[in-house]
Amino acid sequence: MLNPVFQSIVTTMTGMPPATPEQLYRLALRQHDWSHEFTDEHRVWKAGRESLAKITEMQKAIDPDGEIWNQYAPVGYRIGRTAEHPAIAAAIKEVM
């Protein structure tokens, strides 16, 4: 999350209203390198781990059921029942 002082400077410069926590969360999810675990470069791996840790903390406060998270996360990172492949999740939904 942006520091409130920095957020007000950005707002003044851009003329746009401050971003809500949910908007910042969605932006972080969109920009996250979901393939960071597969890199050979330690710097990229470390940045990805740090980013994922921050996003996970945001998720706990903003998106406890993981609904928003699952819109952006690849299958292996999804939360709850939709963590499975989309076809499996659809089949489960049909049965229930």
pLDDT bracket for residue 19 (50, 70, 90) = confident
**pLDDT for residue 76:** 83
Position 7, amino acid? Q
Burial class, 95, CB count within 10 angstroms (exposed 0-12 / middle 13-18 / buried 19+): exposed
What 3-state DSSP class applies to 39? Answer: coil
Give the relative orientation of helices 42-62 and 21-31 as an angle to the nearest 10 degrees: 150
Q: Who wins on pLDDT, 93 or 19?
A: 19
C-alpha span between 31 and 51 (Å, rounded): 9
Instruction: Kindly report whether the global pTM for this prediction surpasses the value 0.75.
Output: no
